[in-house]
A and B are shown apart, each in its own frame.
Chain A
Amino acid sequence: MTALLDINDLRVTFNTRYGEVTALDSVSLNVNAGETLGVVGESGCGKSITALATMGLIPSPPGRIAGGSIKLAGEELTGASDARLRALRGADIAMIFQEPMTSLNPVFTVGDQIAEAIMLHQKVSAAQAFKDAIALLDRVGIPSPAERARDYPHQLSGGMRQRVMIAMAVSCRPKVLIADEPTTALDVTVQAQIFDLLNEIQREFGAAIILITHDMGAISEMADRVAVMYAGRVIEQARADDVLDAPQHPYARGLIDCIPALGKGETELREIPGVVPPLHLLGAGCAFADRCAHKFARCESEKPLLADHGHHPAACHAVEEGRI
């Protein structure tokens, strides 16, 4: 059986002043109905570009999909017309963004913004769409939804706004819901509520969720499977428990080591030394080599490919040769 969303060997490039830069390089991901795929990595690793490419929202120019395929329920999206992508966006694939503060239009009421999403994809009257919007606000746990629907975004708290974004995203019962760091801007207590809500909605609508995050806690709570990304590539992919319990790639190990543990008496936060290298400076070898404690000669000259080296797929020469 093919997956509901099947991304294969996706390559996205951007024209920059350094010439053409590869932002995504042979990225393959898939997710099934009712399943949650976590995509983790530091800022700049390509998580959000993957999401935008799936939505058909890569700003072009300067960006373009240079190769590979994105299939939604068997339908190829990479060459699809603008009109077809517009019809799918918001209806079959929806997205929740990182910044609830700025992702809602400040000059329209939240009810109108949800109603607009409904009317773009369903033949209903404006009055009916607004009623549906109120029902959705109720569904995502906003008290007095009829009144709140007439509020403007600035009148709502961050958590409320993210609930509005979720209501908008699920308004047409999408098959795939992409949540791009949906809780980064929110309080910890509100984060838990938003995750609960996403879980409930998934159970109710059977949607596939792609959860983009850099928070391993969110992964352990939400994800069935995990893809770890680094510098535009997927470097490890497996069931969430496997990655959390036995990370293979030194970068994945590093991410998990960075989770501060309560009660262990640690006084310093751990970190992975260095930063993600600028994409235009990537050489022939492993992009993580400069930050890696297990680096050896082969890492400088040859890009490791994602392959199963015993436990689960990881793209690392040191793992392949049994050095770690």
Chain B
Amino acid sequence: MSTSFILRRLGYGLLLMLGVVVLNFLLIRLAPGDPAVVIAGEMGGATEEMLESIREEYGLNKPVLVQLWIYVSGVAQGNLGESFFFNQPVSKLIAQRIGPTILLVISAQLLSILIGVFLGVIAARKPNGLMSGFVTVFATIGYAVPVFWTGIMLIILFASALPIFPVEGMQSVKLRDAPFFTQAVDVAHHLVLPAFTLAIIYLAQYARLSRASMLEVLGSDYIRTARAKGASERSVLFRHALRNAALPILTVAGLQFGNLISGALLVETVFNWPGMGRLAFESILRRDYPTIMGVLFFASAMVVVANLLTDISYRWADPRLRGRS
């Protein structure tokens, strides 16, 4: 893996982030609604003078391009501005919530890839078998059902009818002072339902994709060679075929990461998960521009990093992409 390749990709990533910052800023200004009215409403009344002084205080009366310049140069220096609502730096708000979101998103990503690919491989083993049919039906349903509905159904089933998992939140209040390990188990216990809810859509897609990809690879000449060597069926599937079938799966995994983050917004709302998604949702209702833009900034940064990791893993999986030594 060449360093220059990674540096070049990081450079593209930074350019992309600049574009994202500018677009976010302009898009939000285009949306209807006046933050000053919302802020004034929170303060108890909205005379025209009061609105004017609020606009003055937050710089909302300056021309949009000037505001953009102030914002972009702030971001370049690591300053995401202050929340209109919390009167706290946005970076501090996000720092408190990015951890739970990353935990949720990565758990869901791992769950969906591991289970989805495993199901797909098993299904590809016998393309006309029962398992194959199950994967196809399950994938169609999983993809069609909206994530908030899955969440509510899982809550009704596994938190209410069969109270195995907690209904909401990330931690039990009574365990706040418990030793680290007990807390970790508690968080994991809270994580199961939201992570599965978020994973189900993608799990279904990975299952279908890896089934198709494996079927194609299993028909190739080098699989026949592996069998001719006397390799076991498990080795043929998981060693010889899967690594070749992984390329399209990796591509989709990288692309899905962005969708996963937007899916997290809904899941966090359903499960009251204290992450960035809920902060974003609430900030949109409050017209809290700096916070929304901050959340979007971090979400985009996560997608850029995920794409970089995808490119790197692609080169790990397929030596033909590494170039000649």
Contacts and interface: CB of A to CB of B under 8 A. Distances in A.
- Tell me, yes or no, whether A binds B: yes
- A-B residue pairs, 6 tightest by C-beta: A90-B230, A90-B229, A89-B230, A102-B221, A105-B222, A152-B319
Contacts of A105: 222, 225-226, 240, 244
Contacts of B221: 97, 99, 102-103
24 contacts: A55-B228, A57-B224, A86-B230, A86-B231, A89-B227, A89-B230, A90-B229, A97-B224, A97-B225, A102-B220, A102-B221, A102-B222, A103-B222, A105-B222, A106-B319, A107-B243, A107-B317, A107-B318, A116-B229, A120-B230, A121-B230, A152-B320, A154-B319, A165-B225
A94 B228 contact: yes
B230 A106 contact: no
Interface string A78-120: 0000100011111100110101001111110000000011001
Nearest to A121: B230
A298 to B, nearest CB: 41
Given A106-B320, A152-B319, A152-B320, A89 B228 contact: yes
Contacts of B228: 55, 57, 89-90, 94-95, 97
B8 interface: no
A57 B227 contact: yes
A280 B228 CA distance: 29
Interface in A128-165: 152, 154-155, 165
B170 to A, nearest CB: 40
B174 interface: no
B4 interface: no
B319 A103 contact: no
A235 interface: no
Contacts of B224: 57, 97, 103
Interface string A159-174: 0000001001000000
In this complex, the member of B221, B225, B231 whose beta carbon has the largest number of chain A beta carbons within 10 angstroms is B225
A88 B221 CA distance: 20
B320 A154 contact: yes
B65 to A, nearest CB: 51
Contacts of B319: 106-107, 152, 154
Contacts of B317: 107
B87 interface: no
B229 A120 contact: yes
Given A154-B319, A155-B324, A103 B230 contact: no
A60 B243 CA distance: 24
B232 interface: yes
Nearest to B228: A95
Contacts of A165: 225
A95 B227 CA distance: 10
A95 B240 CA distance: 18
Nearest to A99: B221
Given A106-B222, A117-B230, 16 more contacts: A86-B232, A87-B230, A89-B227, A89-B228, A97-B221, A97-B225, A97-B228, A102-B221, A105-B225, A106-B318, A107-B244, A107-B318, A116-B231, A120-B230, A152-B320, A168-B225
Contacts of A55: 228
A94 B225 CA distance: 10
B129 to A, nearest CB: 11
Contact of B222 (A91, A94, A104): A104
In this complex, the member of A86, A107, A152 whose beta carbon has the largest number of chain B beta carbons within 10 angstroms is A107
